[in-house]
Amino acid sequence: MMKIYDDVNNLPEFKNAILTIGTFDGVHLGHQKIIHQLVEDARRVGGETVIMTFNPHPRKIIQPDYPLEMLNDFEEKAALLEKFGIDNLVSIRFNEDFANMPAEDYVQNLIYNKFNPQKVIIGYDHHFGKGRTGNIDLLRTMGNNLGFEAYEISAQQLNELIISSTKIRKALHEGNIQLANNHLGYHYTLNGKVVEGNKIGRTIGFPTANIQLDSADKLIPMNGVYAVKVLVNELEYNGMMNIGLRPTVNGKSRTIEVNILDFDEDIYYQPIKVSLYEYIRGEVKFDGIESLKQQIAKDKETVKECFG
């Protein structure tokens, strides 16, 4: 079972640590290649894999006005990293003080003193420390003196990671769920809890669970109707999800709501996980509730066909 640490001053002594540093947002197929390499390296030396990541995302401090649109919240990312064989995840609190740490201190006091790694893997053109003065050359020079190896992920491999992340985000914004899922290597998920809505769905025969996401920084896909799998109370159901403004009932704010097929339980305030399988149609303003009901009934049949 993967161990998670959020206090860098209270870490165990890692055995032959193979350490990599990054946000790993999406933990997509490109990341999974690097993780596989990490696991192989650790196995070869009888060591442990360690990922050092940052919370909040550094861009939140450095570019606070820039929307993040994360593919995973922290819990989702942790679950994926554990699934792919990572032993330890260390979450570093990223703030102004951390950003202003001199690069040499970053290597000596953080990487060496706290992790005592056998090998440190960073991405091509990765910079660290105050003024971003630290790079692979400094890491190699200090690593030679301190007794660890520094390895750089190639420009080509890093470029593939960036392209893949960009493609995933673009696909989600365009409702191209299959493409996004193909690049992720799993189904894109939304995690949250069920909150009270205006209960209009109940009055037209399609009760929905309104979802409040766990993270405000999570990327919400394009508005429309989706075929989804819903995990609630440790059981999985088929469902249809609507993302949007609900123009037919004069909705004013964007909501995420899911109608769980063959389900009739009170799940208010319960955690819920929705995995996206297929984009059914875009959001439409119907000329009345009756037209909306007829379309939802058709959507339900489409969802059933999707899941065979």
| CATH classification at residue 76 | 3.40.50.620
Average pLDDT over residues 168-196: 96
Average pLDDT over residues 5-16: 96
Q: Where among 169, 195, 224 does a domain terminate?
A: 169
Q: Which residue has the higher pLDDT, 291 or 44?
A: 44
Is 198 in the same domain as 144? no
Question: Given pLDDT bands bounded at 50, 70 and 90, which one contains residue 157?
Answer: confident
pLDDT at residue 252 above 70? no
Alpha-carbon distance of 137 to 123, in angstroms, equals 13
The answer to which of 31-35, 60-64, 111-115, 183-187 has the lowest mean pLDDT is: 60-64
The answer to which of 45-54, 200-209, 218-227, 240-249 has the lowest mean pLDDT is: 200-209
Domain that holds residue 252: 187-306
Q: Which residue has the higher pLDDT, 62 or 258?
A: 258
Is 56 in the same domain as 134? yes
Average pLDDT over residues 194-218: 83
The answer to which of 20-29, 225-234, 245-254 has the lowest mean pLDDT is: 245-254
Q: Specify if 182 maps to a domain.
A: no
Share of the chain above pLDDT 90, in %: 76
Alpha-carbon distance of 51 to 81, in angstroms, equals 9
Q: Specify if 163 maps to a domain.
A: yes
Q: Specify if 174 maps to a domain.
A: no
Alpha-carbon distance of 230 to 212, in angstroms, equals 14
pLDDT at residue 61 above 70? yes
Average pLDDT over residues 263-278: 95
Average pLDDT, the chain: 92
pLDDT at residue 161 above 90? no
Q: Specify if 179 maps to a domain.
A: no
Domain CATH number, residue 275: 2.40.30.30
Structure tokens at 189: 């998920």
Is 52 in the same domain as 160? yes
Is 18 in the same domain as 89? yes
Average pLDDT over residues 201-208: 72
pLDDT at residue 251 above 70? no
pLDDT in tens, 132-149: 999 999 999 999 999 999
Is 120 in the same domain as 234? no
Is 150 in the same domain as 201? no
Q: Which residues on neighbouring strands pair with residue 235, listed in sequence order?
A: 232
Is 15 in the same domain as 161? yes
Taken in order 82, 88, 93, 98, is the CA torsion positive or negative? negative
Is 60 in the same domain as 194? no
pLDDT at residue 286 above 90? no
Q: How many domains does the chain have?
A: 2
Question: Given pLDDT bands bounded at 50, 70 and 90, which one contains residue 195?
Answer: very high
Peptide bond connecting 207 to the previous residue in cis, omega within 30 degrees of 0: no
Is 244 in the same domain as 102? no
Q: What value does the CA radius of gyration of the chain take, rounded to a whole number of Å?
A: 22
Question: Given pLDDT bands bounded at 50, 70 and 90, which one contains residue 203?
Answer: low
What is the pLDDT at residue 207? 87
Alpha-carbon distance of 19 to 92, in angstroms, equals 14
The maximal CA–CA distance of the chain, rounded, in angstroms, is: 75
Structure tokens at 302: 């489409």
pLDDT at residue 194 above 90? yes
